[in-house]
Amino acid sequence: MKPEALLHPTPAGLFCPIGRFHVDPVRPVERALITHGHSDHARSGHGHVLATRQTLDIMRIRYGEDFCSSEQAAAFGEEIDVNGVRVSFHPAGHVLGSAQIAIERDGLRIVVSGDYKRGVDPTCAPFVPVACDIFITEATFGLPVFHHPDPKEEVGKLFTSIEQFPERSHLVGAYALGKAQRVIRLIRDCGYDKPIFIHGALAKLCDYYVSQGIDLGEIRPATVEKSNPEAFKGAVIVGPPSAFQERWARRFNEPMICFASGWMMVRQRAKQGGVELPLVISDHCDWPELLDTINEIKPAEVWVTHGREEALVRWCELQGIPARPLHLVGYEDEGD
């Protein structure tokens, strides 16, 4: 069988004509397999959704009870038959509940990695390499410039800054799902035990992480009306970066804008965003991790989706690995 007969890109996303399902579709479809809960991968309005229990829970939190007509939870490693196509979910190490999806028929196996990373992250199950013929990889940080440092060193920069500027409120920008909880957990693991304040947009997802056994320490809302800026002196406040440009941010004392993201590797990017303290903490692979993963899995062919596809395709060519870009649209950088 030609691989394209099992899975190929369409305007709605990757489509499996035999199994009659899409993977991470960007518009409503009848049957969707979802890798993880970030809003560009998991959208509402599909007929049937197959995903991990945690991804389904996250979709329910974000979109409400009727986010789809019917749902089915997949356990890691469990083999499920979808209209004659064998699918299975495997940990991707990206955020809580994130999975790679293996799609198999007549001895041909394609793995859709979704977003993934190889670094240590206590807030989700670690990536498991799955042998396959075709590996579909993301390339969010698919350029040789990206080398994510040890996240604990980055948290150390935050602590140094709090020591140097004890009167300033440290506003740490982190996306609501995954990054925020990972950053809070990292701050705890580095020995910080004071309360951490959060923006309202983070509350439900933080509660969910805690219910899944991930201890985040003492979390307090930073959204109290007429709160006293004095109370936030030297405090750590975690919120979605978009909130820092809004009137919300004015309640804090001389806010120090920090941003936890893999993009912070590039100085100009930090500068343009008005970030004073960049923290290079990413939920995606950096360049060496992408290369290591491909070398480890040794697929016969690599397909590259969203991100800097051309550079990773070029590298594969130089290594003699057949590779092509998929040019899928609709996936943004939300997860980082």
Site map 156..185 versus another protein, x via CB under 8 A: --------xx--------------------
CB 23 within 8 A of CB 35: yes
Distance CA 62, CA 81 (A): 28
Nearer to another protein, 48 or 269 (CB): 269
The interaxial angle of helices 203-211 and 179-189, nearest 10 deg, is 60
Q: Minimum Å distance from CB 268 to another protein? A: 6
160: three-class secondary structure by DSSP: helix
Distance CA 239, CA 180 (A): 7
Q: Minimum Å distance from CB 215 to another protein? A: 28
Which range in 35-43, 62-70, 75-83, 261-269 contacts another protein by CB under 8 A?
A: 261-269
Q: Does 211 bind another protein (CB under 8 A)?
A: no
Distance CA 47, CA 67 (A): 9
Q: Does 267 bind another protein (CB under 8 A)?
A: yes
Cβ count within 10 A of residue 218: 10
Q: Of 221, 245, 322, 327, which lies in the binding site for another protein, with binding defined by CB under 8 A? A: 245
Q: Does 240 bind another protein (CB under 8 A)?
A: no
Q: Does 265 bind another protein (CB under 8 A)?
A: yes
Q: Of 3, 149, 217, 234, which lies in the binding site for another protein, with binding defined by CB under 8 A? A: 149
Q: Does 152 bind another protein (CB under 8 A)?
A: no
The interaxial angle of helices 287-297 and 309-319, nearest 10 deg, is 40
What is the residue-wise DSSP string for 83-115? Answer: TTEEEEEEE-SSSTT-EEEEEEETTEEEEE--S
Distance CA 89, CA 99 (A): 6
Q: Minimum Å distance from CB 202 to another protein? A: 19
Q: Does 287 bind another protein (CB under 8 A)?
A: yes
Q: Of 249, 297, 321, 326, which lies in the binding site for another protein, with binding defined by CB under 8 A? A: 249
CB 181 within 8 A of CB 216: yes
Q: Which residues contact 228 (CB under 8 A, 6 or more apart)?
A: none
Q: Of 254, 298, 322, 329, which lies in the binding site for another protein, with binding defined by CB under 8 A? A: 254
Q: Minimum Å distance from CB 174 to another protein? A: 17
Q: Does 275 bind another protein (CB under 8 A)?
A: yes
Site map 288..327 versus another protein, x via CB under 8 A: xx-xx---------------x-xx--xx--x---------
Nearer to another protein, 283 or 289 (CB): 289
Q: Minimum Å distance from CB 99 to another protein? A: 24
CB 136 within 8 A of CB 300: no
Size of the site for another protein (CB under 8 A): 42
Distance CA 197, CA 217 (A): 11
Q: Of 73, 128, 201, 266, which lies in the binding site for another protein, with binding defined by CB under 8 A? A: 266
The interaxial angle of helices 203-211 and 53-63, nearest 10 deg, is 150
Nearer to another protein, 193 or 318 (CB): 318
Which residues share a beta bridge with 198? Answer: 221, 238
Which residues of the chain form contacts with another protein (CB under 8 A)? 143-147, 149-150, 164-165, 244-247, 249-250, 254-255, 257, 265-268, 270-278, 287-289, 291-292, 308, 310-311, 314-315, 318
